[in-house]
Amino acid sequence: MGFPDWHPRAVRVHTTVTALNNRVYALDARTGRLIWRYERSLPEKIPLCCGRVNRGVAALGNKVFLATLDAHVLALDAKTGSIVWEVKAADYRKGETFTLAPLAVKDKIMVGVSGGDFGNRGFIDAYEAESGKLAWRFYTVPGPGEPGNETWERDSWKTGGGPAWLTGTYDPELNLIYWGTGNPGSALYGENRKGDNLYTNCVVALDVDTGKLKWYFQFTPHDVHDWDAIQIPMLLDLNFGGKPRKLLVEANRNGFFYVLDRANGQFLLAKQFAHLTWAKGINAGGRPILLPDTDPTPEGKYICPGAWGGTNWMSPSYSPQTGLFYVAAREQCDIFTSSDRPYEEGAGFFGSTANPPPKQKEKDWGALRAIDPLNGDIRWEFNLYSAPFGGVLSTAGGLVFGGDMEGYLIALNAQTGEHLWHFQTGSSIYAAPITYALDGKEYLAIPSGGAVLAFALPDDAIARKISSKE
């Protein structure tokens, strides 16, 4: 399955997984037996920044939904895998693709486009789940006459980027989705797009029914380090500052952990969670307090975190039992070297390069970190040999699971970070584990390499646990 940074999806008694080139597999969730398979016939040449990846499917009713590398959105029959409907959303020849898992909300299926590194204008779409009809589209880069367009120099908005390439989060009470947006174009050179470049590097709150913008918060204005803000927003209802608040918390790629009021976007807190050299903090209004001389230069500028960020697409987790937020943190810096490369349709629009220092001088590393969302303090960390790309799962049983680039699935005590056990999967882990229950039995599943591995307690262990409670 190549580069498995997707997450399995439990659908009734099926587990539905995806693989490279938009292959979808429905597996028996108890045994792993193949039930059906869908494989898309893709064009031979698709401009892609980061491989032929797919991060999963959505499920609603009797359908499974897939967004494809050739810029289509599909509904598949959950029982058979046959196509129910299919719509073309964008032009893959320009680098407009889909790599995310769709989000099913009410009667709609929502997707965000990839391809911002090709200078494409980002968007988030909502489709009617029954028919595939487009319900609304929100552009992440505003056009002339729209609020925010003044943050772009001249016509730079036309190649402004702002992809929405990771799945957002839904609040049914507020009827809002929260979606992260990526870097502007060009990704690593900002002289051709002076200004804050809204709504790139933001979380946007959109009305589910209309797609209208309710509020936004920009983490990294005028980003020149490729710090997409596509990290998955976590929604928490907590007492914050002495009163109940509806919170949105996020460990951002720029190295800061943020707390916002998700009802109105008010900035509440930011604190560093990974090593950084570009800012000395965040001011009271939520803007970074920049350190001098941190933009890329022709000679090369050493900046932390590197272009892969202090974290990335990896799913975080939160435990109501411990009150802690868990994130896979990356400790890797890059040398950013600038050059003004012109835009060309269908070609990478980076403008500069970002490369790590030689490994013999500086080795990347990482950690699973537990953060208190009420103050941003790091409660504990479990160090990893290499900077990770695998996500995190916390469970009601007081456990935290994560994976590393050395192929280990790791189980930790959620309260203390104590190592409990680990399993060598045989391949680097790029995804997050999931847990699900069938027939009174709990399973843990993780994709790794060309396989999905599932774990469960043996039946006699479950019986012993039940009898001990009686």
Buried-exposed string 286-306: b where 16+ CB fall within 10 A, e elsewhere:
bbbeeeeebbbeeebbebbbb
DSSP string, 151-216: GS-TTGGGG-B----S--EEETTTTEEEEE---BSSTT--TTS-S--TTTTEEEEEETTT--EEEE
In terms of Cα–Cα distance, which of 79, 81, 120 is closest to 98?
Answer: 120
Catalytic residue among 70, 125, 171, 226: 226
In terms of Cα–Cα distance, which of 168, 153, 82, 76 is closest to 122?
Answer: 168
Q: Is 226 a catalytic residue?
A: yes
Side-chain-side CA neighbours of residue 79 (13 Å): 2
The secondary structure of residue 231, as a DSSP letter, is S
- For 169, the token pair is 């989060």
- For 377, the token pair is 């303090």
Spatial separation of the C-alpha atoms in residues 130 and 123, rounded to whole Å: 22
In terms of Cα–Cα distance, which of 393, 251, 406, 399 is closest to 330?
Answer: 251
Mind telling me the catalytic residues?
226
